[in-house]
Structure 1
Amino acid sequence: MSRYETALRRIDEAHACDPRQTQDPSSQGQIPYELHYANKMTSYLTLVEPSASELLQLAIRAQHLRRWELARSEFPATKIGYHSWRAELQWRQATLAEQICTESGYSAEEAARVGALIRKADLKKGDPETQTLEDVACLVFLDDQFDKFERELGDEEKIVDILRKTWGKMSEKGREQALKIDLSERGQTLVEKALQG
């Protein structure tokens, strides 16, 4: 087994520990939610950047590594609390992924690159791989999480603002792919409102 296959297997073994279950679209059964999310991330990476490097593929796969272990409720229900939770998640996920990579045979430098991608460390510097990861995360949000998120939030003005911010995070390539997503009727209406604003 190659180091890439070893790392990927260990990442997916961690995802499989997620106690939350969701319907597996490829079968009649259930699948741990984070394994489902990782599959979605990889699928969109294939569409957006089919020639992605091994390190980017691993970062994409490990984007939500053991995310369920740090609940949003452990942080204050404020904007600062939300950003603190997100920062802590990124640090934890990157650290765990780096450990898996080094234990699977990658160099410390290669593992650090995977961690930097997960933390989106170079996004504002225009790093193309970090931008690809951001595109993929936004696409999975729109495709797989948006409808539930919109129902739970229940505030159209906030939802439209979030959609505008999501659109602003994506590259042109990401936006082109986003327009191909088969959204619900409600989702399509909200996206149209966001893009008109």
Structure 2
Amino acid sequence: MIDAANSEDPNWETNEGKDWPKELLYSRRMSDMLERYAPGADDAMKLAVSAQHIQRWKSPRSDYPMDRKGYLQWRTGLNKFHAETIAILLVKAGYEKEFIARVTQAVGKKSLKTNPDTQLLEDVAGLVFFEHYLVDFSDRHPEYNEQKWIDIIRKIWNKMSCRAHQYALSGHIKLPDSLVKLIKKVASLNTSGSY
């Protein structure tokens, strides 16, 4: 049902010569990363990770003011939207309330740093962003200087656990060559306590 929902995405991306609905491709990348990073993850986390961006196109950024406050409102709204959307599907599939609550808490990004499920989802999302989306994002913003990139990378890095940091830096994911130095710089600044 999650794949079917994400297959409705009107936005498409090409990956390795195949066209994909954008959020279906993202969901597959998230699931692949979970299998690599936490192969023992249970069904609740497998579903949470695959539903991280479920039907994201239905809540576009353009619906909110194009400033920092609007961005934060959009992100908060997205988390709620994704959690509610997956909850509806899990109810239809007959899952128990406790199971649904666990999945929706992770997808809704509740209690990051204290809820291991939310932290695992955030780790996987950060690793997927670095491996698959950072280069494209940098290509779309050639105007950003080094400090801007450090700020962007730092915000993602700070949401990830120490385990995810080690995983990212130890060759388990493909980091973009052009940004490896900045990622390592952020990692060293975090270690030294500069941030």
User: What does residue 12 of structure 2 align with?
Assistant: 21
TM-score by length of 2: 0.89
Find the counterpart in structure 2 of residue 40 from structure 1.
29
Question: How many angstroms apart in 2 are the aligned matches of 1:47 and 1:185?
Answer: 21
Identify the structure with bigger relative contact order (alpha carbons < 8 Å, sequence gap 6+): 1
Match of 2:52 among 63, 79, 85: 63
Q: How many angstroms apart in 2 are the aligned matches of 1:68 and 1:105?
A: 26
Residues 77-92 of structure 1 aligned to structure 2 (within 5 Å): 77-92=66-81
Structure 2 residue 119 is the aligned partner of structure 1 residue 112:
no
Q: Report the alpha carbon displacement of residue 182 of structure 1 after superposing the two structures with TM.
A: 2.1
Alignment of 1:119-130 (within 5 A): 119-124=108-113, 126-130=114-118
Q: Counterpart of 1:184 in structure 2: which amino acid?
A: P
> Which amino acid is the alignment partner of residue 122 of structure 2?
E
Relative to the length of structure 1, the TM-score reads 0.88
The offset of 1:20, in angstroms, is 1.2
Structure 2, gaps ≥5 residues long: 190-195
2:126 and 2:115 map into 1 onto residues whose CA distance is 17
Alignment coverage as a number of residue pairs: 185
Q: Contact 1:48–1:173 at 8 Å: present in 2 too? A: no
Q: Distance in 2 between matches of 1:167 and 1:61?
A: 21
Supply the distance in 2 between the matched residues of 1:102 and 1:108 (Cα, whole angstroms). 8
Deviation at 1:165, TM superposition (A): 2.3
Are residues 1:169 and 2:152 paired? no
Fraction of identical pairs, as percent: 36
Task: Tell me the distance in 1 between the aligned counterparts of 2:131 and 2:22.
Answer: 15
Whether contact under 8 Å (1:38, 1:64) holds in the other structure is: yes
Tell me how far 1:130 sits from its aligned partner.
1.4
| Residues 46-66 of structure 1 deviation map (CA, whole Å, 9 limit, x = unaligned) | 122111111111110000010
Partner of 2:186: 194
Moved segments of 4+, more than 3 Å: none
Distance 1:72 1:134 in 2: 20
Q: Do 2:131 and 2:176's aligned partners in 1 also have CA atoms closer than 8 Å?
A: no
Q: Quick one: distance in 1 between partners of 2:128 and 2:8?
A: 21
Q: CA deviation at 1:195?
A: 2.9
Cross-structure match for 1:6: none
8 A Cα contact 1:99 1:111, kept in partner: no
| Alignment partner, residue 193 of structure 2 | none
Q: C-alpha distance in 1, partners of 2:122/2:18?
A: 30
Give RMSD over aligned pairs: 1.4
Match of 1:146 among 134, 139, 147: 134
